[in-house]
Amino acid sequence: MSSLTKGLILLLVILGIGVGLVVWKNKVGGHTAVNFNSISQDELQTLLADVAKSDPIALKRLAEDQEEKKRQLDSLKQILAFASEAQRTGVASEKPHKQELENIAAEVVAVNYDRDLNKDKGPMPPFGFIGEDRVKQFWGEGEQPADQGWFANFKNKIGLGREDHNLGFDKFIETKLQILGESNPKMKDHQLTDDERQQARDFYAKIAIYNDEYHDKLAKGEIAPELQKKVELQMKLQQAQYLARIYSAKMAEQLKVTDEEVAKYIADHPELGIADKKAKAEEILNRAKSGEDFAKLADEFSDDPGNNGPEGKKQGGFYGNNTKGKMVPAFEEAALALEPGQVTPNLVETDYGYHIIKLEKKGPSEDPNLKGQEVYDVRHILISTGVKDPESPFGGEKPVKMYVKQKLEAEKEKAKLDEIVAKNHVTVPEDFAIPEVTDEQIQEAMKKRQQQMPNFEAPEAGEGEDGETPPNANANTGTTGKKPAPAKKGR
């Protein structure tokens, strides 16, 4: 082959690949082309019509609850505003976010095209109707279809068709792993097993097959307008949600509240009653130091819920057999600095309030289970600085510093959100018709939910696998409404 011929083939390959990239970007609606500043009336009606089919119960709730309707609209505005800000500040163009936006676009197209194409063919996992032969053809393996076009056939013959797909897959995997590592540090250095890589390779191929098929039909005018509108809207919303999550994580540092800000707020708001509570604690401390019965003082004044025994009997503020590390550091350091019989000379402050501590004894444990570990017994009085959050009338008291920090964080967050929404001129229709939901639709939706629920056999007498009591999957990790034992570590 002459050098000139080789040069022409190389030029064709370069031009072909370049054109392919342009077509790809035009097809998927790359992130630079998407306008996240608004949702049109038509787009909103498309979204509601889709919800009417997929979750009529939620749509009925939206129609009946104006507050819920407002919350959903505000949430949509905020997502769009964050996505717009990510676009405006260049975050959307950073690696790997630029690539992930293209991944999202292709996945949305493929999933919706799969559902529409195969909706009357019975149940099947996603992309289940794409056979193994088509996947092999995608990778340039086995017999190739005759109608690929001369250039595709040419690239396959010289090995570049398969190479394009392999390069695309490598970028796909690299992006997914990088995003996984950023969202979960434990997975930062995760290496795919051969099985995981093969599953990802099949998934990538099937996404690409349906994505290409959809766009080929779209170019020929063979895609229904309703499906096209649905795909474009879902693409926009899922890309917006992704960018909003990324940008909000980057912004989190700006919204942190410092200890100095918390202290200043408390000092500027005497209505929180901290000064009065401290004065009360000082008075009790002086009485304890003057020799009054500490146990009686604890039973009379302590706000510690741990001072109430199982049958409601007061405990005189007693905490016995405490190993090192059991109590919060400030409490433990003050207690162990004492000799038996001594009372702390000053109040000990923690997030829970003001503590007055009397050491009863310390030394090696006599409990055989503790194997001679150093332990100590104390009596303790807590004057709580907890406050009720007016925004949570049914919740219990919170430590004042926690309450103030959460309040200031919420105020910072709202101010930033309002600023970003205004800066990006985000608009969402507020006057729109919600499709009417019939009783038949509700009943059908409930029937589908019941059919989709897993039918597990009940385990023996409250036991899970291996005879263990199963943990509560919906365990509340927040406050329970009960005041925690203030001095115990981790409470």
Q: Under a CB-based contact definition with an 8 Å cutoff, are residues 378 and 357 in contact? A: yes
Among left, alpha and beta (phi > 0; psi -120 to 50; other), residue 490 is left
pLDDT, position 462: 42
Burial 142-155 (b: 16+ CB within 10 A, else e): eebeeeeeeebebb
**pLDDT exceeds 90 at position 297:** yes
* Helices first, then strands: H and E counts in the chain: 16, 4
* Residue 19 to residue 434: CA distance in whole angstroms: 43
**Per-position DSSP letters for 174-200, written without gaps between them:** HHHHHHHHHH-GGGTT----HHHHHHH
Residue positions counted in the chain: 491
* Residue 44 to residue 50: CA distance in whole angstroms: 10
The first and second tokens of residue 87, run together, are 């676009």
Q: In the chain, what percentage of residues exceed pLDDT 70?
A: 80
pLDDT tens digits along 455-487: 444 444 444 444 443 333 333 333 333 333 444
* Residue 459 to residue 273: CA distance in whole angstroms: 51
* Residue 447 to residue 455: CA distance in whole angstroms: 14
Q: Under a CB-based contact definition with an 8 Å cutoff, are residues 450 and 290 in contact? A: no
- Mind listing the domains of the chain with CATH numbers? 26-255 (no CATH), 274-384 (3.10.50.40)
pLDDT, position 391: 81
The beta strand positions in 195-343, using DSSP E, are 318-323
Which pTM value belongs to this model? 0.66
pLDDT band at residue 337, thresholds of 50, 70 and 90?
very high
* Residue 355 to residue 399: CA distance in whole angstroms: 14
pLDDT band at residue 20, thresholds of 50, 70 and 90?
very low
The first and second tokens of residue 112, run together, are 């919706």
Q: How many CB atoms lie within 10 A of CB 251?
A: 16
Mean per-residue pLDDT over the chain, rounded = 81
* Residue 34 to residue 37: CA distance in whole angstroms: 9
pLDDT, position 457: 43
pLDDT band at residue 441, thresholds of 50, 70 and 90?
confident
pLDDT tens digits along 410-438: 999 999 989 998 899 999 998 888 888 88
Burial of 66 (0-12, 13-18, 19+ CB in 10 A): exposed
pLDDT, position 461: 42
Strand order in the sheet with 348-350: 318-323, 374-384, 353-364, 348-350
pLDDT, position 309: 82
Q: Beta 318-323 vs 348-350: how paired, if at all?
A: unpaired
The first and second tokens of residue 177, run together, are 């792993």
* Cα–Cα separations (whole angstroms), residue 125 to 129, 286, 305, 381: 8, 73, 53, 62
Kindly report the backbone phi and psi dihedral angles of residue 5, in degrees, each rounded to the nearest multiple of 5, phi listed first: -60, -45
